[in-house]
Amino acid sequence: MPQVKPLFWTPSKALIDSDAMSSELLSLLVDKAFRREVPERAEALALLAGTQPLIEVVAAGARVRREFFGTRVKLNTIVNMKSGLCPEDCGYCSQRLGSKADVLKYSWISPDKAAQIADDAVSAGAKRVCLVASGRGPGERDLTRIENTITAIKTDHPHVEICVCLGLLADGQAERLAAMGAHAYSHNLNTAEARYSDICTTHTFADRVDTLNRAATAGMSPCSGAIFGMGESDEDVVDVAIALRDLDPDSVPINFLIPFEGTPLGERWNLTPERCLRILALFRFYFPDVEIRLAGGREIHVRSLQPLALHLANSMFLGDYLTSEGQPGTDGRQMIIDAGFTIEGVDEQTLPAARHDLVAIRRRGAGTALPSNT
């Protein structure tokens, strides 16, 4: 006969201890995030392992999100300036060398066309316009096209943020883009350094880090994130979070693999909504006061739990992606409103105004009895 619980059932000590440990971990991560401290590796791995109830994980991450960003959601849009026929062999990409994916392939669209797409997006609430072009890196003519496009967009929308994503940058190119009016440069690390060669052989993890450093040195806001669902382990997730933290980006897009038929990773459908939310929560704890952007693949992997993701991410893409369709903009905006959030205005500052943790008052060296740190 099946065992029946007594009316006044008492949970076992093991269960109580387990619940207490889960609560203690989440409280610890929240407290650290409030102080802008990084989780220990063991803490990060425990969060990904899935022993804590998902709703409690989201609630903990939401406390951090609200502390630094309130209920604002920043909207971003992508303009695919040049699609397909890329010489790089990134296994996740539908535009890669040798891709059999049936995606749009075209050369550069005109600055006026890009400005029209940007105008529609800004009218729909987008605060940042991301200009993206396939290829290893920009040539001289490509930079001229981008300059003309930025000028065309800024004519009607002088305050909109322009983010550029053109691949690897050579000497002097980051400075030129900054002078053109590019606010940010986007270049994802995508995965952990230890397994980067598993997804791409035509350039290295170090190449990507170099480009981000060039962009930051030139004065552009660094934007870099990752793609999950490519077969990475929990250790890999933590490794790429740490690598990104070392780069100190202002925005971190979290992508979930869109498995295109005709690409090496086209059969990978391993993500669950819970896995996606735990990854988002982890990144919120690693980047408490940084823009976390809900990016590609949210519709097919986070699915009906997308409103919960907004309690972790404070930014998202509106509309379509590079080569795949996204949630219609009207539905995305309605989801934000229904979940109790507000769309961030173009005149509102995204990142918290105060970064006092970055300013350390000198208490050693000249004028003190203590040696300097040289």
**8 pLDDT higher than 90:** no
Encode pLDDT of 299-349 as tens digits. 999 999 999 999 999 999 999 999 999 999 999 999 999 999 999 986 777
Does residue 357 lie within any of the structural domains? Answer: no
Same domain, 46 and 134: no
Encode pLDDT of 136-192 as tens digits. 999 999 999 999 999 999 999 999 999 999 999 999 999 999 999 999 999 999 999
Same domain, 55 and 190: no
Same domain, 188 and 48: no
Same domain, 276 and 187: yes
Angle subtended by helix axes 273-286 and 41-49, to nearest 10:
160
Number of domains making up the chain: 2
The confidence band for 9, taking pLDDT boundaries of 50, 70 and 90, is very low
Q: Give the domain range for residue 110.
A: 69-348
- Check residue 351 and give its pLDDT: 72
In sequence order, the β-bridge partners of residue 234 are none
* CATH code for position 315: 3.20.20.70
The confidence band for 5, taking pLDDT boundaries of 50, 70 and 90, is very low
**198 pLDDT higher than 70:** yes
Does residue 362 lie within any of the structural domains? Answer: no
* Residue type present at position 277: L
C-alpha pair distances (Å), 355 with each of 276, 289, 352: 29, 9, 7
Cβ(116)–Cβ(79) under 8 Å? no
How far is it, in rounded angstroms, from Cα 307 to Cα 335?
7
Does residue 43 lie within any of the structural domains? Answer: yes
Same domain, 170 and 186: yes
Which has more pLDDT, 245 or 13? 245
Same domain, 33 and 121: no
Cβ(228)–Cβ(296) under 8 Å? no
Q: DSSP characters for 236-277?
A: HHHHHHHHHHHH--SEEEEEE----TTSTTTT-----HHHHH
C-alpha pair distances (Å), 59 with each of 29, 66, 179: 12, 10, 42
For residues 106-116, give the mean pLDDT. 97
Same domain, 113 and 37: no
Encode pLDDT of 220-279 as tens digits. 999 999 999 999 999 999 999 999 999 999 999 999 999 999 999 999 999 999 999 999
Same domain, 140 and 197: yes
How many residues make up the chain in this entry?
374
Same domain, 208 and 337: yes
Does residue 192 lie within any of the structural domains? Answer: yes
Does residue 100 lie within any of the structural domains? Answer: yes
